[in-house]
Amino acid sequence: MARQDYLFTSESVSEGHPDKVCDRISDAVVDAYLTKMPEARVACETLATTNRVVIAGETRGPAEITKDYISHIARMAIKDIGYEQDGFHWETCDIAVHLHAQSAHIAQGVDAGDNKDEGAGDQGIMFGYACRETAELMPAPILFSHKILKRLAEVRKSGEVPVLGPDAKSQVTVRYAGGKPVGVTSIVLSTQHIDASLTSRDVRAIVEPYILESLPEGWITKETVWHVNPTGTFVIGGPDGDAGLTGRKIIVDTYGGAAPHGGGAFSGKDPTKVDRSAAYAARYLAKNVVAAELAERCTIQLSYAIGVAEPLSVYVDLHGTGVCDEAKLEKALRDVMSLSPRGIRSHLQLNNPIYERTAAYGHFGREPEDDGGFSWEKTDLVDALRSIAG
């Protein structure tokens, strides 16, 4: 029987974290290509350090997307994040673009042919997860870690709290009783600040009201332990303080460690890459299973081979909370949605330029948007799953 009383911790990082700067730039490149050509192929990696950004990878798309244009959209992403410091400034940092054509040997496996559907862009395993801990059907620790940083970014960008810098990290430890989240035992926040004279106590006084409003009422008590800027001054932030790379925050991007992860990153990849699209599909299906009240918790694993359209396996684990047979549900999921790369992209509208907005504050637990953004958060399969599952 699963433990009912325990502590669990998840972390998040802000849009100004060095790795998230890189995720943002890589996804801005994906959106640039998909805007011009919905069937474009992109595998883009970004490295950022003091006053330097390097963008590398492979693409297939219109020639009008030049190196100069890629440099421009990277600068616009850095500007929107808010970097105008001596060691990393959107206007003056050096940007090198090393994108080349997609490998013909990869393309031949992925492209559709006369007697062949479009294949997966790579082999791999992908997981999706949902649970009843929050209204968003997400684990509480990661959801509230994201909410804290997103709120601090809002007040920083609005000018309400201009002393904060773009780089920040949060960590929330949640206490579970009877298997349900009931409170927060510790808060960790490290946030960049512009004024070097601020102490950790000063920073806590600034951020505490926004943290409190980001959490459920009553979850913070006098027993909650706070660690705000525990190392002291945090003025040098972003890629000037620490180098960043695309794809290094895969647990932050998903479920905060509360569910398995297949190991593949999302950012910088077009939706033929099942690392991204199948992970979105797995979340979509798991969320609909829980929303349909077929289980309190649901984990789904999908697996693929490069060049092969259909998944090699579909696995469902309801963690002992289900009201239907898991093997029957595995078949039902294939019936309600095509799990080929083309089927996923079509069902979830993934060929749209919707990815730059996913690069920070989590790919899951967000509100679906009219243009297809976060379409994998819809719960429009509920009736079909209830019917098939009986």
- Alpha carbon of 308 to those of 63, 274, 286, 303, 337: distances in Å? 29, 11, 23, 11, 17
Task: Assess whether 11 carries a catalytic annotation.
Answer: no
- For residue 195, indicate whether it is catalytic: no
Q: Is 242 known to be catalytic?
A: yes
Is residue 17 part of the annotated active site? The answer reads: yes
Rg (CA), the chain: 21
- Taking the C-alpha atoms of residue 303 and residue 333, their distance in angstroms, rounded to an integer, is 14
Annotated binding site for Mg(2+): 19
45 included as an active-site residue: yes
Known active-site residue 19: yes
- From the list 17, 175, 193, 347, the catalytic residue is 17
DSSP reduced 3-state for 53: strand
Residue partners of 18: CB distance under 8 A and separation at least 6: 48, 167, 238, 239, 241, 242, 243, 244, 245
**With 0-12 CB in 10 A as exposed, 13-18 as middle and 19+ as buried, what is 348?**
buried
Gap between the Cα atoms of 281 and 216, Å rounded: 29
Q: Which of 175, 193, 249, 283 is catalytic?
A: 249
Identified catalytic residue from 56, 107, 243, 389: 243
**Does residue 27 have an active-site annotation?**
no
Residue 169 is among the residues annotated as catalytic for this protein:
yes
Task: Report the 10 Å Cβ neighbour count for 143.
Answer: 27
The span from the CA of 204 to the CA of 244, in Å, is 26
Q: How far apart are CA 98 and CA 154, in angstroms?
A: 33
Q: From the candidates 269, 283, 287, 347, give the one annotated as an active-site residue.
A: 269
Whether 204 is catalytic is no
∠ CA 338-285-251, nearest 5°, is 115
Active site residue 261: no
Q: How far is residue 362's CA from residue 276's CA, in Å, rounded to a whole number?
A: 13
Q: Which two tokens stand for residue 147?
A: 């909410």
**Which residues are annotated binding-site positions?**
17, 19, 45, 58, 102, 167-169, 242, 248-249, 265, 269, 273
Question: Quick one: DSSP state of residue 294?
Answer: S
Out of 39, 242, 310, 326, pick the active-site residue: 242
Instruction: Give the 3-state secondary structure of residue 346.
Output: helix
- Binding positions for ATP are 17, 167-169, 242, 248-249, 265, 269
Residues 6+ apart with CB under 8 A from 52: 93, 94, 95, 96, 239
Distance, CA of 272 to CA of 266 (rounded, Å): 11
273 is an active site residue: yes
CA–CA distance, 286 with 265 (Å, rounded to integer) = 19
**Which residue of the set 273, 287, 297, 363 is catalytic?**
273
Q: Which positions are annotated as active-site residues?
A: 17, 19-20, 45, 58, 169, 234, 242-243, 248-249, 269, 273, 275
